[in-house]
Amino acid sequence: MLQESIISRAIIERYFEKLKGCLQVDVAIAGAGPSGLVAAAELASAGFKVLVLEKKLSLGGGIWGGGMLFNEIVVDNGGKAILEDSGVSCHSYNPTLFTADAVETASALVFRARKSGAVILNTVEVEDVVLRHGRLAGFVINWSPVTLAGLHVDPLAIEARVCLEATGHPLEVLKVLLRKNDIILSTATGGIMGERSMTADSAEQLVVENTGCVFPGLYVSGMAANAAHGSPRMGPVFGGMLQSGRKAADLIRKELEASNGQNH
């Protein structure tokens, strides 16, 4: 027999069990777009405790719409390899470019991240950061519908050994970090340099090059990396985004492993 109160209790108890288990994590990722999901899957597969926060109801960032709502995306050879690791079918368009179904891609990246062990909380946004001894130590979070409704509701906090901003074009974490604190970033100007207009070829290369640590405890990946470092956008080409997520995971893994070694 289905009893309404039992159904509600099951949802409430399971969600809060999940949330309580993520108050302290190895890696907290803001943004469940392509780079954030790839990083989450690879870090969780390596045995780290990973939490992904996404302010929207849907996951996958800009993948779903493809180019102007034509739900196909383009990747290069490096992106193709990562998609195939996630079970996505890629189709050759020319010797160096491949297409993939946007719906299949977004679904597969989300599924891989989740099955790798990453916890994903949607409709949760980062509204501030936790700073401790000159290092980012976590995210201050709230329900995104609270912001949309204009309600004054105090937030909660998540502690993390390392944080990753993968919020894409908005660059939400770095903006609040700079607005509220007198700090200098590891960019050419020491601040946010801003996203430039579209140049797909250089943007695809630079999004990987720009991926890295911009402040102690905080890494950037995907379009957030290009926006931080003043590089152009690339449109519905996702190979660089996927490779950026993989690079971020590798850099974060090395930092965490080095930290583990120092603690022994």
Do 165 and 229 form a contact (C-beta atoms < 8 A)?
A: no
Rounded distance between C-alpha atoms, residue 87 and residue 206, angstroms: 26
- Check residue 47 and give its pLDDT: 97
Residue 263: pLDDT band by 50, 70, 90 thresholds? Answer: low
- Check residue 110 and give its pLDDT: 98
Q: What is the mean pLDDT of residues 92-103?
A: 96
Task: Name the one residue in this structure whose structure tokens are 């777009």.
Answer: 33
* Single-letter residue type at 179: R
Q: What is the mean pLDDT of residues 105-125?
A: 98
- Check residue 262 and give its pLDDT: 72
CATH architecture of 22-263: 3-Layer(bba) Sandwich (3.50)
H or E stretch including 24? strand 24-30
Rounded percentage of the chain residues whose pLDDT exceeds 90: 97
β strands within 115-195, DSSP E? 119-122, 124-132, 135-143, 156-165
Rounded distance between C-alpha atoms, residue 59 and residue 20, angstroms: 22
pTM: 0.96
Q: What are the tens digits of pLDDT across the range 175-223?
A: 999 999 999 999 999 999 999 999 999 999 999 999 999 999 999 999 9
Q: Give me the residue spans of the domains in the chain.
A: 22-263
Put the strands of the sheet holding 90-92 in their side by side order: 72-75, 98-101, 90-92
H or E stretch including 52? strand 50-54
How far is CA 1 from its chain centroid?
41
Residue 260: pLDDT band by 50, 70, 90 thresholds? Answer: confident
